[in-house]
């Protein structure tokens, strides 16, 4: 999928659908989907996965379901439009995929605004996923010195050095570092 996204970036080619009336794009690669927001110089990937799984990312499926029995004895299932769209999107129905893609982007926007998620460049994610010390990776991305991070987090520089070297940190210190680095605290856990 990464190759297809790179091809789209360089050529504009691919099975791509832009949402109407809002920012957001969906790239199809077989049964897989990449949901992203594109600006002039950045593509911000918000969700990736098999279409049956990526749409589970939206808030929990299935609200109140009603079963109605007709006079002929046939049972009909009534469910909320949101739930119908999610089920249809997982099956690959285009209009419903658009609706659920928009919901994924709305929920992602809300998490970013609330500080529950963070948009980082690919190189930073690769460094984190390769096992590099998260505090060091994020500090360097934010272009902070150890001393600056220590002041912002209310720690001694030696404490920041220790966290970066050993990765051991209490929940309280992790929370202070996360605030200073402007990332969710769980991102500072060793990968």
Same structural domain for residues 75 and 18?
yes
Exposure pattern of 88-112 as b/e (b: 16+ CB <10 Å)?
bbbeeeeebbbbbbbbbbebbeeee
Report how far residue 60's alpha carbon sits from residue 7's, in angstroms, rounded to the nearest whole number: 33
The residue range of the domain holding 65 is 2-113
Q: How many CB atoms lie within 10 A of CB 159?
A: 18
Report how far residue 109's alpha carbon sits from residue 114's, in angstroms, rounded to the nearest whole number: 9
Same structural domain for residues 83 and 152?
no
Same structural domain for residues 139 and 103?
no
Report how far residue 189's alpha carbon sits from residue 18's, in angstroms, rounded to the nearest whole number: 35
Please give the C-alpha separations between residue 101 and each of 13, 65, 111, in angstroms, as whole numbers.
20, 23, 15
What is the number of structural domains in the chain?
Answer: 2
Over residues 11-48, the pLDDT tens digits come to: 988 999 998 888 899 999 888 888 899 887 888 888 88
Same structural domain for residues 70 and 90?
yes
> What pTM was computed for the model?
0.63
Task: Provide the pLDDT for residue 63.
Answer: 67
57 pLDDT band (50/70/90 cuts)? low
Residue 56, classified by CB atoms within 10 Å of its CB into exposed (0-12), middle (13-18) or buried (19+), is middle
Same structural domain for residues 106 and 181?
no
Same structural domain for residues 50 and 16?
yes
CATH number for the domain that contains residue 38: 3.30.2310
Same structural domain for residues 142 and 99?
no
């Amino acid at each position: 999928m990464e190759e297809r996204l790179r091809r789209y970036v360089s050529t504009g080619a691919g099975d791509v659908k832009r949402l109407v009336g809002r920012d957001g794009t969906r790239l199809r690669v077989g049964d897989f989907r990449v949901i992203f927001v594109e600006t002039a110089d950045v593509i911000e990937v918000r969700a990736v996965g098999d279409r049956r799984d990526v749409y589970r990312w939206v808030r929990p499926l299935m609200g109140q379901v009603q079963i109605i029995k007709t006079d002929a004895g046939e049972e009909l299932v009534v469910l909320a439009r949101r739930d119908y769209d999610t089920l249809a999107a997982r099956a690959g129905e285009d209009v419903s995929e658009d609706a659920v893609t928009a919901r994924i982007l709305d929920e992602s926007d809300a998490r970013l605004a609330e500080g529950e998620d963070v948009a980082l460049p690919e190189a930073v994610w690769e460094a984190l996923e390769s096992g590099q010390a998260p505090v060091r990776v994020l500090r360097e991305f934010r272009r902070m010195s150890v001393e600056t991070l220590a002041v912002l987090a209310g720690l001694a520089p030696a404490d920041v050095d220790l966290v970066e070297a050993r990765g051991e940190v209490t929940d309280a210190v992790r929370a202070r570092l996360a605030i200073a680095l402007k990332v969710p605290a769980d991102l500072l856990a060793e990968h």
